[in-house]
Chain A
Amino acid sequence: MSNTTAIQRPRFLAGQKLISYIFLVFLSALCIFPFFIMVINATRFNADILKGFTIAPGEAFVQNFNSLFSDRNIPILRAMGNSVFIATCAAFLTTYFSAMTAYGIYMYRFKLRKVSYNFIMIVMMVPTQVAALGFFKMVIDLNLLDTYYPLIIPAIAAPVVFFFMLQYMQSVLPFEIVESARIDGANEFRTFNQIVMPILSPAVALQAIFSFVGNWNNYFMPALLINSKNKKTIPILIAQLRSADYMKFDMGKVYMLICIAIIPLVVIYLILSRHIIRGVTMGSVKG
């Protein structure tokens, strides 16, 4: 009896392994397939795309690229610049100030400490969209419509990033380091900037990436607030392309635009994927 299970077990395991590999390959293919078609079609002539799909890439890459970048109705370069600007500013503000807030809660035993902490934890789950109306009205009343301030400044108060930073501090920042800086006579903000921030840099880098991606992809608020052509971001251009009479478009150009919106992030992701995947679990679950 025990003999047969001992023999059967490896065989059963091998079968299970095979099934799991097949399933994993299938899922990976499912994830890659849409992007594969996208890249192929971005290299083909409009007429060929309309005729049907082929696996072989076409020869229209340069043409599609040029016709996209020379289209005055789709200021793609401008939009990329705008998206990069907003996402960079927001990523900087959100990581710096979240670290600062977390440090305040972590390091100091002030009266309202517990209350402040509980407050941030409670508001962490309130989705931003439910206050969108009040936010939108305020932006109109303050005459900030069609500016980037309302897309950048609120990044300072990011409860989720705060929570992540606090978790990280609790695991890497000993109080003794701060104590010794104090004995050396550094003031509190200098200690934070010159001693604490460098220790936090792995967490800061990770959150900067997530924040950059989030802002780069953000569509809901920018679409409501930004009107002028030269201030539009990439997601707004995509939506604009969708709402235009789509069949009149050069499809090669459409695929090229989607490519341009996706590829930069994919490249960054592939370079940093190890850190990013490890980071996914750091904030939300203690592994």
Chain B
Amino acid sequence: MSKAQTMIKRKSVSYSRWGYFFIAPFFLIYTIFSLFPLVSTFYNSFFENYRIGLTQVGPTFLGFDNYVKIFTESKIQDYALNTVLLWIMNFIPQITVSLLLAVWFSSSSMRLKGQQFFKTVIYMPNLIMAASFSMLFFALFSDGGPVNSILTSVNVITEPIRFLSRTDWTRTLISTMNFLMWFGNTTILLMAGIMGIDVSLFEAARIDGANARQTFVRITMPLLLPIFVFVLLTSMIGGLQLFDVPQILTNGNGSPDRTSMTLIMFLNKHLASRNFGLAGAVSVLIFFVTGGLSFIVYRVMMSRYSLKSNNQ
């Protein structure tokens, strides 16, 4: 070890405790506003604790009764199913369209013009306030709204469609909004992934006479897999948290007949009515489902990003 290196080493040792000061605010705030509430959520899920009018019931220790209740009395399994269905109805078209667009945008033989314009337009809905987007769809698809008016005037339909009174249409509208809000984002992520693939591989495939389909199946897809998995899982976790869009569209009822009620809408209902016991049980369930998925994401990501440990 040279003298200079020893000096640097000694110096970095004397400086290293500064790190604690720099990370202290994060850990302090995280502990107070996230970690402690998480523990408290678990704790509260075992107690009966709600209000009827002005009378406070509980807190009384119940054990697992709240968990039994949300399955038997409230049918949380139905809401979980709605949530998953709404996610699938959005994700399958989303990933198909995004993959297609990503391949087109990054194709060197197609050289599409106006890419910046198209990317700007398709990413835009992602930044729009979900609440206002949903309110807009509510107005557009109401019984006497513009969509019915346009469809009637071009003779596609004779009677206005009552979009928001029908389960299939309500679910389709929610999925459509999510599709519009997220496909641009997914396209950009997948495109970056494709651009990251070594160009010489595509070149070699072309020389070997591979057609577009073969190139996609044999080269693009396998090498894109880590990013594809990342997109899939983050979308799943996001999908489980679906709230703003159906909440505003259905005014929090999950109408018609609770067929568009999602897990977080259900949680929100109990939070708003201050039924802390049931809200706790719902939260814990969501925690374990997302926790499982997150663990997979974590493993996938950690294999890609490791903290630089030797710097000098």
Contact = CB atoms under 8 A, between A and B. Distances in A.
A30 to B, nearest CB: 7
A138 interface: yes
Nearest to A255: B139
B19 A132 contact: no
Interface string B257-289: 000000010011001100010011001101100
Interface string B94-113: 00010011001000011010
A172 interface: no
A38 B302 CA distance: 44
Given A21-B112, A285-B192, A100 B34 contact: no
Given A154-B29, A220-B268, A269-B124, A274 B15 contact: no
B158 interface: no
Interface stretch (B35-43, B74-82, B84-92, B214-222): B35-43
A16 B290 CA distance: 40
Contacts of A255: 139
Interface string B199-243: 000000000000000000000000000010010001001001101
Nearest to A110: B19
B297 A125 contact: yes
Contacts, number: 314
B26 A284 contact: no
Contacts of A65: none
Interface residues of A, number: 106
Contacts of A35: 136
Contact of B132 (A103, A130, A262): A262
Given A101-B22, A138-B40, A241 B135 contact: yes
B196 interface: yes
Interface in A142-157: 150, 153-154, 156-157
B110 A157 contact: no
Nearest to B280: A133
Interface stretch (A71-79, A115-123, A199-207): A115-123
Contacts of A157: 25-27, 29-30, 33-34
Contact of A27 (B17, B97, B191): B97
A267 B192 CA distance: 25
A85 interface: no
Interface of B: 8, 11-13, 15-23, 25-27, 29-30, 33-34, 36-41, 44, 97, 100-101, 104, 109-110, 112, 116-125, 127-133, 135-140, 142, 144, 146, 149-150, 152-153, 180, 183-185, 188-189, 191-193, 195-196, 227, 230, 234, 237, 240-241, 243-244, 247-248, 251-252, 264, 267-268, 271-272, 276, 279-280, 283-284, 286-287, 290-291, 293-294, 297-298, 301-302, 304-305, 307-308, 311-312
Given A98-B26, A134-B37, A136-B271, 12 more contacts: A30-B180, A41-B146, A117-B307, A122-B298, A127-B290, A137-B44, A156-B29, A242-B248, A243-B251, A243-B252, A258-B139, A280-B185
16 contacts: A24-B104, A28-B118, A31-B184, A41-B146, A53-B149, A100-B25, A104-B19, A107-B19, A129-B243, A133-B41, A138-B36, A217-B131, A238-B132, A239-B247, A280-B123, A284-B234
* The 8 A-B residue pairs with the shortest CB-CB distance in the complex, in nearest-first order: A104-B22, A134-B37, A108-B19, A134-B40, A125-B294, A157-B30, A281-B192, A53-B146
